[in-house]
Structure 1
Amino acid sequence: MKQRGRHRRRKRGQALRAFLAGTALALTAAATMISTSQATVAANPGTLKPLTSAAETAPLRLRESLVPQRALDRLSSEMGRPVGVSAVLDSADRSLRDAIECTAGERAALPVEPTATAAYCWDTADTRSWRAGAVTTSGDADDDGRWGANRVILSAWSRTGTAADGGGLARVAFVDANDLDQLTYSWVLLAVPVDDGRDFRGLVSQVSGMVWYQNKLLVTASGDGGDALYVYDMDRVQRATVDSAAVGRVRGGWSAHGAQWVLPAVGSYRLTDQAGATRPDYLSLDRSTAPDSLVASEWISGAGDTGARMWRYDFSADPRRSGLLATATGGYARAAEAYVTKASGSGPVLSRDSQWYLGRAARAEGDHGTLWRQNASNPAKATRCGTDETRSCWSGEAESLSYWEQTGDVWSQSGRVLFALPLASIDRSLK
Structure 2
Amino acid sequence: MIVLTDQPLLDNSLRMNVDAVKRLGFIVAMLLLAAGTPAAAAPNQITERDGSAFSLTPDWSLDTQAAGLASTLGSRLPVSDVLAAANRSTNDCSTSRKQAQPEFYDRTDIPLQANQILHSSDRFCWDDSDSKVSYWVPQGVTGSSDADDDGQWGPNKVMAVSWHYDTGKAGTQTDHGARLSLVDRVSGKYRHVLLVEPTSSSNFRAVPIHAGGLAWLGRYLYVADTSRGLRVFDMERVLEVATDQDDVIGKSGSKYYAYGYRYVVPQVATYRQAITPPSPCVPQPNALCYSSLALDRSTTPDTLVVGEYRDGRSTDLSIDGGRVVHYDVDASTRKLAVSSGKAVPSRAVTTPKSNVQGAQTWQGEYYLGRSSADKHSFMFAGSADMNTYSWAVGGEDLYYEHGSGLLWTATEHAFNAADTLIDKRIVFAVPLAGIAPR
TM-score (norm: length of structure 1): 0.78
Q: Are residue 189 (structure 1) and residue 203 (structure 2) matched?
A: no
Which residue of 152, 155, 175 maps to 2:158? Answer: 152
Deviation at 1:293, TM superposition (A): 0.5
Which residue number in structure 1 is paired with residue 219 of structure 2?
A: 215
Deviation at 1:59, TM superposition (A): 2.0
Which residue of 71, 79, 83 maps to 1:85? Answer: 79
Which residue of 359, 379, 391 maps to 1:371? Answer: 379
Which residue number in structure 2 is paired with residue 341 of structure 1?
A: 351
Contact 1:228 1:268 in 2 (8 A): yes
- Rounded to whole Å, the distance in 1 between the matches of 2:230 and 2:98 is 32
Q: Deviations along 1:278-313, whole A, 9 cap, x unmatched? A: 132111010010000100121111243423111100
Deviation at 1:72, TM superposition (A): 2.3
Deviation at 1:197, TM superposition (A): 4.7
User: Quick one: percent identity of the two aligned structures?
Assistant: 30
Q: Deviations along 1:11-41, whole A, 9 cap, x unmatched? A: xxxxxxxxxxxxxxxxxxxxxxxxxxxxxxx
Contact 1:242 1:252 in 2 (8 A): no
Partner SS state of residue 401, structure 1? strand
Q: Are residue 283 (structure 1) and residue 293 (structure 2) matched?
A: yes
Contact 1:74 1:197 in 2 (8 A): no
**Richer in helix (by share):** 1
- Rounded to whole Å, the distance in 2 between the matches of 1:205 and 1:410 is 25
Contact 1:72 1:197 in 2 (8 A): no
Which residue number in structure 2 is paired with residue 73 of structure 1?
A: 67
Which residue of 389, 394, 397 maps to 1:397? Answer: 394
- Rounded to whole Å, the distance in 1 between the matches of 2:370 and 2:202 is 43
Summarize the alignment of residues 14-413 of structure 1 with structure 2, pairs less than 5 Å apart.
Answer: 45-51=43-49, 56-99=50-93, 102=94, 104-112=95-103, 113-126=117-130, 128=133, 129-162=135-168, 164=172, 166-167=174-175, 169-177=177-185, 179=186, 182-194=187-199, 196-222=200-226, 227-243=228-244, 244-273=246-275, 276-305=286-315, 306-317=320-331, 319=332, 322-330=333-341, 332-362=342-372, 365-376=373-384, 379-383=385-389, 393-413=390-410
Partner SS state of residue 294, structure 2? strand
Deviation at 1:247, TM superposition (A): 1.3
In structure 2, runs of 5+ residues without a counterpart are: 1-41, 104-116, 277-284, 413-424
Contact 1:60 1:279 in 2 (8 A): no
Deviation at 1:400, TM superposition (A): 1.3
After superposing the two structures, state which structure 1 stretch, 162-171 or 104-113, moved more.
162-171
Contact 2:359 2:367 in 1 (8 A): yes
Give, as a single letter, the amino acid of the residue that structure 2 aligns with 1:408.
G
Give, as a single letter, the amino acid of the residue that structure 2 aligns with 1:105.
S
Contact 2:360 2:368 in 1 (8 A): yes
Q: Deviations along 1:110-137, whole A, 9 cap, x unmatched? A: 1123111122221232451210111101
Contact 2:90 2:125 in 1 (8 A): yes
After superposing the two structures, state which structure 1 stretch, 114-123 or 230-239, moved more.
114-123
- Rounded to whole Å, the distance in 2 between the matches of 1:126 and 1:370 is 25
Q: Deviations along 1:51-86, whole A, 9 cap, x unmatched? A: 1xxxx3222111100025542232112212211111
- Rounded to whole Å, the distance in 2 between the matches of 1:197 and 1:418 is 39
- Rounded to whole Å, the distance in 1 between the matches of 2:300 and 2:228 is 27
After superposing the two structures, state which structure 1 stretch, 281-290 or 295-304, moved more.
295-304
- Rounded to whole Å, the distance in 1 between the matches of 2:366 and 2:67 is 41
Partner SS state of residue 399, structure 1? strand
Contact 2:237 2:265 in 1 (8 A): yes
Shift in CA distance, 353/200, structure 1 to aligned 2, threshold 3 Å: same
Q: Deviations along 1:83-113, whole A, 9 cap, x unmatched? A: 11111111111101113xx2x3222211123
TM-score (norm: length of structure 2): 0.77
Shift in CA distance, 197/351, structure 1 to aligned 2, threshold 3 Å: farther
CA RMSD, aligned part only? 2.1
